[in-house]
Chains A and B, each alone.
Chain A
Amino acid sequence: MVASLRRVIALMGKEFLALLKDKKGRFVLIGPPIIQLMVFGYAASFDLNHVPYAIYNEDGGSASRQLVARFEGAPPFDAATIVHDDAQIQPLIDDKQVLLVVHIGPQFSRQLALGESAHVQLIVDGRNSNTALIILGYASSIVQSFNTGRLVTSGSSGPPAHISMRAWFNPNLQSRWFLIPGIAGLITLVVTMMVVSLSVAREREQGTFDQLMVTPLRPFEILLGKALPGFIIGMLESTLVILIAVFWFNIPLLSSPLVLYSGIALFLLSAIGIGLMISSLSLTQQQGFLGAFLFIVPSILLSGFATPIENMPHAVQMITLIDPMRYFMIILRGVFLEGAGFSILLPQFWPLAVIGFVCMSLATWLFRHRMV
């Protein structure tokens, strides 16, 4: 038992040395995580800022000027130009100079003054449907507040039903809060998979695997000696990302770290198991690399990292049930934003544990049977 432990520790020591002495190995651990975190933290956002728009005001009355002023004062909108003619609208949108044109008809102020309802036309660039919907949302909330303002100044008590909105968990609806916990999961997955799936393949490629097999090291000890460094590196990697998320991007971490790390540990079990499976199936590092990506890309797409699982067709939703990333995403967002505890996250923990156990068992089996 002691001898066995000593051999495993020796193998682990060798794994760390081999990884850290190699310049490329060190870079893989530090470079991509930081770059990805920065790219997603700053560049990837669902929020819209600086939306260029044009005003086509045919009216000129005070009511229309008030409405225009409300658009000018709204933070997400940047006035790009003023339109005086119908024919100007098309080229503006075609060339993407503006995403929105606010068209106020010539009778706008007069109709309002008469107590009638008037029309405001919003022309939106619909090529990116997602963006278009968000712009429409912003614009209609501006028009709505304009309506409320007019009702109040005219002495009425406002519209019969008043919307009072509060977003729970993410009060300012910053998409960064949603994305960065997900990124922590993504980076943990990628780095752990790379480290583990290349480790056995590298030995096969260089012929040292045979050398290992003829030592008294048992297959299980070799497996353990390969899995544990992956586990430790995965833990350190996720810690690094979480620290940056909390202290650099100021994402709140509401749950106890214990819940968070339990989730990470269970998830790493799956990531390492799959990495080891790929590793024992591939003969060269290149195969290991390709194998890892073959798993990583679909597992991220199916995890709900960017697109909600609820929007996927039913059959695809079924497939996501075997994706460990799916559960990990919910756990991460739960511990960061919701402050969820063990009892709330139990429905995520147990499938993750089952998947991890199955992956590790399969990896052990493959490892024993692919030794030839």
Chain B
Amino acid sequence: MTAITEHVAVLRGVEKSFMAGKRPAPALCRVDAVIRPGCVTGLIGPDGAGKTTLMRMLAGLIRPDAGSIAVLGRDMAVESQQVQQQLGYMPQRFGLYEDLSVQENLDLYADLQCVPHEARRERYAELMHMTGLAPFTGRLAGQLSGGMKQKLGLACTLVRSPSLLLLDEPTAGVDPVSRRELWEIVYRQVEEADMSVLCSTAYLDEAERCENLLLLHQGRLIGQGSPAEFSGRMQGRVWSVGLGGETRRGLQQRLVREASVLDALIQGESVRLVMHEGHAPADEAWSKDLQVQAVQPRFEDAFISLLGGVGAILPDAAQQMAQVHPGDGPVIEVKGLSRSFGKFMAVKGIDFHVRRGEVFGLLGANGAGKSTTFRMLCGLLPASSGSLTVAGVDLREAPASARGRIGYMSQRFSLYGTLSVRENLRFFSSAYGLSGKARGARIDWAFERFDLHDVADTASNDLSLGYKQRLAMAAALLHEPDILFLDEPTSGVDPLARREFWQRINMLAGQGVTVLVTTHFMEEAEYCDRLVIMAEGAILASGTPQQIKQSVAGSGKPSQSMEDAFIALIRREEV
């Protein structure tokens, strides 16, 4: 029983399954884990790995099917009530009352948690100062930005200082600046109040901020330790390869197909390689003329390695012929584009253009105006002023046939939920005017290329997120569009599926398809040929990833990440 007192939480053989339709779907499988006191433990894993289930069990909201959970030295099966009094839990969608002001929300949670009135004043001041919400106490919670809402949620959770703080993806969908601030608040609690924190996240770069990590994948705990322990195991397997005259995309695609390579990623003006165990680039024939340099491994490399990496996707033989060099002239042109909703200017006169065969990124935090811009380009929303052309026409006024040249994939993977994979593909192919043999051939192609055979008759609602993304992409490509619009195509998808997705995008770009993509994953910006960063409806910076990073580096620190560049740009704008 000593273990129970040493650790904040102990899980032994915890199992839980939910009913998905008629068969039980395991959410957690024999999980044994401990959470150490006085530090931040990260709960890392892709969507659907069981992170939220684990959190809710620790909070005593659901019971395990088997196994035992002890939190703060008490058995959750008997004493969950007492534990809950010392626990702070912030679910993914924190229950802020949008029609109440910041102060009223705080008061409400203080009342709910029985915080004595005399202690409130001091605590409020502290929390408001920490979260930077002090100037906004009178504002309605519904009118706060996404990042501010999360901070207020955290403040409400912390209104009575808990011993153990459970945070379920507090940074999901939050802009990088607010993400950093949230982490600062969490660390302050650990240092000043000696709080123990369990924080789940889908961002792998955030794992490095934790002292201890629990890795969940498909309901199983596949690793436990500090980030350094994880990346230490990867020592000697991670390399950076210089371009040496090749295009970034060409080199990446060539390398990822090599048997000895586990993972290859475009990073700035080089390709980052993770080798299979026991292989080194020096032993391989392909490395002969390449500049290869050992680099420091990071947690993400270990994560991919533990999950087994992504298989390479081979290009279509027939379509390789259509190689086009980027730069044949603009396919998308935007001049002075504005859009207002009432008094609010969502997009304030932006200009940019996208060349043929380019992967063009539209980056920005929530509410930066990138989705509005995106919808205007697709012809879903009329512009208030300015001009825009896609393949020479404005899709809103152009004849319907012009829309046959574009493919569109929205962030919600808009599929017909009750229809099976095959029925979805049939419908979308017909909607795009395919028929007869051509239609059959393209549907076969989609099954083949996206590996959908196993789920052909599954209703798309029952698919995992990764499969949904594949199906949505297949549906968007059935009619072989020249231009592809992708709205946050990787949100919520696990790192493996994201890699696979970007391989496909790279391949399409190689075939001359123009790709316009919005994302809030800063590292994905590295994969774009050119990009614009938007904030509050305006463009902050544009250019290649390298140019953008250099523009903020000043003294020339080239290896900084895209996220650092983004934050520097936002901060510069605020000053």
Interface 1/0 per residue, A210-240 and B, CB below 8 Å? 1111111110000000000000000000000
Interface 1/0 per residue, B475-489 and A, CB below 8 Å? 000000000010000
Select which of B412, B423, B433 is within 8 A of A216 by beta carbon: B433
A207-B414 in contact given A13-B427, A214-B408, A216-B400 (Cβ < 8 Å): yes
Shortest distance between the CB of A81 and any CB in chain B (Å): 59
Whether B419 lies near A214 (C-beta < 8 A) is no
Whether A217 lies near B400 (C-beta < 8 A) is yes
Q: Taking the complex as formed, is A11 at the interface, i.e. its CB lies under 8 A from any CB of chain B?
A: yes
Shortest distance between the CB of A149 and any CB in chain B (Å): 70
Stretch among A16-24, A39-47, A59-67, A163-171 lining the B interface: A16-24
A372-B380 in contact given A17-B419, A18-B419 (Cβ < 8 Å): yes
CA distance A214 to B484 in the complex (A): 11
The residue of chain B having its C-beta at the shortest distance from the C-beta of A20 within the complex is B418
CA distance A21 to B400 in the complex (A): 30
Q: Taking the complex as formed, is B406 at the interface, i.e. its CB lies under 8 A from any CB of chain A?
A: yes
Shortest distance between the CB of A8 and any CB in chain B (Å): 10
Query: Which residues from B are CB-within-8-Å of A14?
Result: 416, 419, 423, 427
Interface 1/0 per residue, A8-40 and B, CB below 8 Å? 011101100110011000000000000000000
Shortest distance between the CB of B111 and any CB in chain A (Å): 31
CA distance A330 to B369 in the complex (A): 56
The residue of chain B having its C-beta at the shortest distance from the C-beta of A220 within the complex is B400
CA distance A127 to B381 in the complex (A): 61
Whether A21 lies near B418 (C-beta < 8 A) is yes
Shortest distance between the CB of A200 and any CB in chain B (Å): 14
Whether A217 lies near B410 (C-beta < 8 A) is no
Shortest distance between the CB of A217 and any CB in chain B (Å): 6
Whether B414 lies near A210 (C-beta < 8 A) is yes
Q: Taking the complex as formed, is A6 at the interface, i.e. its CB lies under 8 A from any CB of chain B?
A: yes
CA distance A371 to B403 in the complex (A): 16
Whether B433 lies near A214 (C-beta < 8 A) is no
Select which of A6, A18, A207 is within 8 A of B433 by beta carbon: A6
Whether A10 lies near B427 (C-beta < 8 A) is yes
The residue of chain B having its C-beta at the shortest distance from the C-beta of A215 within the complex is B431
Select which of A3, A206, A217, A372 is within 8 A of B417 by beta carbon: A206
Whether B418 lies near A10 (C-beta < 8 A) is no
Q: Taking the complex as formed, is B415 at the interface, i.e. its CB lies under 8 A from any CB of chain A?
A: yes
Whether B403 lies near A215 (C-beta < 8 A) is yes
Query: Which residues from A are CB-within-8-Å of B403?
Result: 214-216
A11-B416 in contact given A17-B423, A211-B410, A216-B401 (Cβ < 8 Å): no
CA distance A208 to B428 in the complex (A): 11
CA distance A14 to B381 in the complex (A): 25
CA distance A211 to B403 in the complex (A): 11
Whether B435 lies near A207 (C-beta < 8 A) is no
Main secondary structure of the interface of B (DSSP, over half): loop
Interface 1/0 per residue, A329-363 and B, CB below 8 Å? 00000000000000000000000000000000000
Query: Which residues from B are CB-within-8-Å of A17?
Result: 418-419, 423
A216-B419 in contact given A3-B433, A10-B427, A211-B410 (Cβ < 8 Å): no
Shortest distance between the CB of B374 and any CB in chain A (Å): 10
The residue of chain A having its C-beta at the shortest distance from the C-beta of B459 within the complex is A21
Main secondary structure of the interface of A (DSSP, over half): helix
Quick one: which of B412-450 are within 8 Å of A by CB? 412, 414-419, 423, 426-428, 430-433, 435
CA distance A211 to B395 in the complex (A): 14
Query: Which residues from B are CB-within-8-Å of A218?
Result: 400
Whether A7 lies near B430 (C-beta < 8 A) is yes
Whether B414 lies near A206 (C-beta < 8 A) is yes
Whether B378 lies near A10 (C-beta < 8 A) is no
Please count how many residues in chain A sit with their CB below 8 Å of the partner chain's CB atoms: 26
Shortest distance between the CB of B375 and any CB in chain A (Å): 8
A211-B400 in contact given A3-B433, A14-B419, A18-B419 (Cβ < 8 Å): no
Q: Taking the complex as formed, is B91 at the interface, i.e. its CB lies under 8 A from any CB of chain A?
A: no
Select which of A6, A215, A371, A372 is within 8 A of B435 by beta carbon: A6
CA distance A218 to B435 in the complex (A): 18
Shortest distance between the CB of B500 and any CB in chain A (Å): 22
Query: Which residues from B are CB-within-8-Å of A207?
Result: 410, 412, 414
Shortest distance between the CB of B427 and any CB in chain A (Å): 4
CA distance A212 to B406 in the complex (A): 12
Shortest distance between the CB of A305 and any CB in chain B (Å): 34
A372-B419 in contact given A6-B430, A216-B404, A216-B433 (Cβ < 8 Å): no
Quick one: which of A194-214 are within 8 Å of B by CB? 206-208, 210-214
Whether A208 lies near B432 (C-beta < 8 A) is no
Whether A211 lies near B419 (C-beta < 8 A) is no
Query: Which residues from B are CB-within-8-Å of A213?
Result: 379-380
Select which of B380, B419, B430 is within 8 A of A10 by beta carbon: B430
Query: Which residues from A are CB-within-8-Å of B414?
Result: 206-208, 210-211
Select which of B395, B404, B418 is within 8 A of A18 by beta carbon: B418
CA distance A110 to B423 in the complex (A): 88
Q: Taking the complex as formed, is B382 at the interface, i.e. its CB lies under 8 A from any CB of chain A?
A: yes
Query: Which residues from B are CB-within-8-Å of A10?
Result: 426-427, 430-431
CA distance A10 to B424 in the complex (A): 11
A22-B381 in contact given A11-B431, A216-B431 (Cβ < 8 Å): no
Query: Which residues from A are CB-within-8-Å of B433?
Result: 3, 6-7, 216
User: Which of B378, B412, B431: most chain A CB closer than 10 A?
Assistant: B431
Whether B401 lies near A211 (C-beta < 8 A) is no
CA distance A213 to B381 in the complex (A): 11
Query: Which residues from B are CB-within-8-Å of A13?
Result: 427, 430
Interface 1/0 per residue, B506-527 and A, CB below 8 Å? 0000000000000000000000
CA distance A339 to B209 in the complex (A): 83
The residue of chain A having its C-beta at the shortest distance from the C-beta of B395 within the complex is A214
CA distance A206 to B423 in the complex (A): 17
A7-B415 in contact given A214-B380, A214-B403 (Cβ < 8 Å): no
The residue of chain A having its C-beta at the shortest distance from the C-beta of B403 within the complex is A216
Shortest distance between the CB of B398 and any CB in chain A (Å): 11
Query: Which residues from B are CB-within-8-Å of A206?
Result: 412, 414, 416-417
CA distance A17 to B430 in the complex (A): 15
Shortest distance between the CB of A47 and any CB in chain B (Å): 45
User: Which of A3, A11, A214, A217: most chain B CB closer than 10 A?
Assistant: A214
CA distance A372 to B381 in the complex (A): 5
CA distance A216 to B423 in the complex (A): 19
Select which of B382, B412, B417, B431 is within 8 A of A7 by beta carbon: B431
CA distance A216 to B403 in the complex (A): 5
Interface 1/0 per residue, B339-361 and A, CB below 8 Å? 00000000000000000000000
Interface 1/0 per residue, B522-541 and A, CB below 8 Å? 00000000000000000000
The residue of chain B having its C-beta at the shortest distance from the C-beta of A221 within the complex is B400
What 9 A-B pairs are tightest by C-beta distance, nearest first?
A10-B430, A211-B414, A214-B408, A207-B414, A207-B412, A215-B431, A208-B414, A14-B427, A216-B404
Q: Show the binding face of B for A, using Cβ within 8 Å.
A: 375, 378-382, 395, 400-401, 403-404, 406, 408, 410, 412, 414-419, 423, 426-428, 430-433, 435, 459, 485
Q: Could you give 16 example pairs across A and B, Cβ below 8 Å?
A: A6-B433, A7-B431, A9-B430, A10-B426, A11-B431, A21-B419, A22-B418, A208-B414, A208-B415, A210-B375, A212-B431, A214-B403, A215-B403, A215-B431, A215-B432, A217-B431
Known: A11-B431, A210-B408. 15 other contacts (CB 8 A): A6-B433, A7-B431, A10-B426, A10-B431, A14-B419, A17-B423, A206-B417, A213-B379, A214-B406, A215-B403, A215-B404, A216-B401, A216-B432, A216-B433, A372-B381
Q: Show the binding face of A for B, using Cβ within 8 Å.
A: 3, 6-7, 9-11, 13-14, 17-18, 21-22, 206-208, 210-218, 371-372
